[in-house]
């Protein structure tokens, strides 16, 4: 598969031939279920799009039954930016319903398979985008990250996935899960491609009230030779599997070989991250999903009266995981529990943010696991709590609004990819990409 950087240099004729070949390759691999549809709408470089990002005149459903029949009336800001840069939305990729999941098993369209091992999950919720890039069925893709939904599937499928600083990429046109946590980001074959795609989709947007008034670019200033001070977290990874610990040690040695300074730091127990995240995310999800009532758009199940129509539509339209999170969100926001749960979660979120800021007074980057294990097999995380705990290393980044990038480090004895992430200070994407590119080059060199 050619890279995004290479694709930008293709002639019109070469690009059209490439797209024909790509469509044929996708058609020949339907069992992966990475794509829901392939709907090329332009002449630009084909980029796969997660099914919760609006593309005008496409069916966009967030992987849910309740949005069947909905046709997007406008383009998300990231799509407009892509089109202006010569990129074209090419197909919509499978995802966990309303981005709620870590395995892409909760999709209305069925599960996506991991391209490395079909018995394993591709991660989630951007599993379709990760699988498409990992299988060579996409040059690059867009995903969304609420608590690790770009970085975790990227790690599971052996690709690069980047979550920008909150506010650096417009959320206008993104189907909301948890508005204070969601971010759109690139999923690519390498770090440089991620920087190129990030530059294209980032920047200030008046349509998004949380958009940062910044338009800095990074790809033309990439400097993998830059020497950085990087924090490692020895106690934080104690509960990770041996595969993750081995990759962590390998990454530390690679960073040292590049001339980076390694220092030890600690973060508080990640169980507090889990609690704060799921209270915050489900509370915001409850509010955001209230609009899906069968009246304004999407599927409708007619009831005996208006109230019954609401009930029947939502009961039939939402899957089990979405219903579970709506119930939890309503509980933590309800009278008598709001102070005990939601307010306390916001105080904890502030502590998490402060803790990161204190570490970044001393270092440029933090090296962290993405998940406690490599990709698990289908059905292994049948208990919802086990699935929630698989996000243990990613969610604090969203709570603090920081940028982070996951990249492949090694493979375990079974050939499954092992990915780690680098985390940077807010709005310091340049340092993030510089450090990631340095690590990527050293790992590739050693391999």
Residue-range domain boundaries for the chain: 4-267+353-446
Q: CA separation (Å) from 257 to 243, 250, 439?
A: 21, 11, 9
Cβ(144)–Cβ(183) under 8 Å?
yes
Both tokens assigned to 284? 């915001």
At 424 the three-state DSSP class reads strand
Range of weakest confidence among 255-264, 333-342, 403-412: 333-342
Catalytic choice (64, 102, 107, 125): 125
Which of these is catalytic: 62, 106, 129, 149? Answer: 149
pTM: 0.96
Q: CB neighbours of 109 closer than 8 A, spacing ≥ 6?
A: 33, 36, 63, 94
What is residue 426's predicted lDDT score, i.e. its pLDDT? 98
What is the C-alpha separation between 424 and 433, in angstroms, rounded?
Answer: 9
DSSP classification of residue 426: T
Predicted local confidence at residue 387, as pLDDT: 78
Summarize pLDDT for 277-310 with one digit per residue, the tens.
999 999 999 999 999 998 888 889 999 999 999 9
Catalytic residue (one of 19, 50, 111, 163): 50
R_g of the chain computed on alpha carbons: 21
- Say if CB 423 and CB 302 are below 8 A apart: no
From residue 265, give the alpha-carbon distance in Å to each of 85, 306, 397, 420.
41, 56, 16, 17
pLDDT in tens, 18-42: 999 999 999 999 999 999 999 876 7
The answer to whether 149 is a known catalytic residue is yes
Domain spanning 4-267+353-446 has what CATH number? 3.90.1300.10
CA-to-CA distance for 377 and 375, rounded, in angstroms? 7
At residue 446 the predicted structure's pLDDT band, cuts being 50, 70 and 90, is: low
Identify whether 125 is a catalytic site residue.
yes
pLDDT of residue 330: 95
| Spatial CB neighbours of 320, under 8 Å, sequence gap ≥ 6 | 106
Consecutive H or E run containing 421 = strand 417-424
Q: Judge whether 198 and 81 are in contact, CB under 8 Å.
A: no
Long-range contacts, 5-8 (Cβ 8 Å, 24+): 5/192, 5/193, 5/196, 7/45, 7/139, 8/45, 8/86, 8/196
Average pLDDT in the chain: 95
What is the pairing mode between strands 160-163 and 229-232? unpaired
pLDDT on residue 296: 84
Question: Is 425 considered catalytic here?
Answer: no
Alpha-carbon span 19 to 226, nearest angstrom: 37
pLDDT tens-place string over residues 394-414: 999 999 999 999 999 999 999
Do the bridges between strand 183-188 and strand 141-145 make them parallel or antiparallel, or are there none, so unpaired?
antiparallel
Given this model, what pLDDT does residue 174 score?
Answer: 98
What pLDDT, in 10s, does the model give residues 167-221? 999 999 999 999 999 999 999 999 999 999 999 999 999 999 999 999 999 999 9
Which pairing describes strands 45-50 and 404-411: parallel, antiparallel, or unpaired?
A: unpaired
């Amino acid at each position: 598969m050619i890279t995004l950087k290479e694709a930008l240099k293709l002639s019109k004729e070469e690009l059209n031939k490439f797209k024909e070949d790509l469509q044929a390759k996708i058609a020949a691999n339907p069992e992966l279920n990475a794509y829901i549809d392939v709907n090329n709408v332009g002449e630009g470089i084909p980029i796969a799009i997660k099914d919760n990002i609006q593309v005008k005149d496409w069916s966009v459903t967030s992987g849910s039954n309740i949005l069947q029949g909905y046709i997007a009336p406008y383009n998300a800001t990231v799509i407009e930016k892509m089109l202006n840069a010569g990129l074209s939305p090419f197909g919509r990729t499978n995802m966990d319903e309303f981005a709620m999941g870590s395995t892409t098993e909760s999709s209305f369209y069925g599960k996506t398979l991991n391209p490395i091992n079909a018995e394993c999950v591709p991660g989630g919720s951007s599993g379709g985008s990760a699988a498409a890039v990992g299988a060579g069925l996409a040059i690059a893709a867009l995903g969304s990250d609420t608590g690790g939904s770009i970085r975790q599937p990227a790690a599971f499928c052996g690709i690069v996935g980047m979550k920008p600083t909150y506010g650096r990429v417009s959320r206008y046109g993104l189907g909301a899960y948890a508005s204070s946590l969601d971010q759109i980001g690139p999923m690519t074959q390498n770090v440089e491609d991620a920087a190129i795609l990030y530059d294209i989709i980032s920047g200030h947007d008046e349509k998004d009230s949380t958009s940062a008034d910044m338009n800095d670019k990074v790809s033309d200033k990439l400097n993998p030779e830059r020497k950085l001070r990087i924090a490692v977290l020895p106690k934080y990874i104690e509960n990770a599997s041996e595969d993750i610990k081995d990759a962590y040690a390998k990454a530390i040695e690679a960073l040292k070989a590049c001339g980076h300074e390694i220092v030890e730091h600690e973060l508080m127990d990640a169980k507090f991250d889990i609690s704060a995240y799921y209270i915050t995310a489900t509370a915001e999800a409850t509010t955001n999903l209230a609009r899906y009532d069968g009246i304004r758009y999407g599927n409708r199940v007619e009831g005996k009266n208006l109230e019954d129509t609401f009930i029947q539509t939502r009961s039939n339209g939402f899957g089990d995981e979405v219903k579970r999170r709506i119930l939890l969100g309503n509980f933590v926001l309800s009278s008598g529990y709001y102070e005990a749960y939601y307010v306390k979660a916001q105080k904890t979120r502030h502590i998490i943010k402060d803790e990161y800021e204190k570490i970044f007074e001393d270092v440029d980057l933090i090296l962290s696991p993405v998940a406690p294990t490599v990709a698990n097999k289908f059905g292994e995380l049948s208990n919802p709590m086990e699935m929630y705990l698989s996000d243990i290393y990613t969610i604090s980044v969203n709570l603090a609004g920081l940028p982070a990038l996951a990249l492949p480090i090694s493979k375990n004895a079974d050939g499954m990819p092992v990915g780690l992430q680098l985390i940077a200070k807010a709005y310091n994407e340049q340092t993030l990409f510089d450090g990631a590119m340095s690590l990527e080059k050293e790992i590739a060199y050693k391999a």
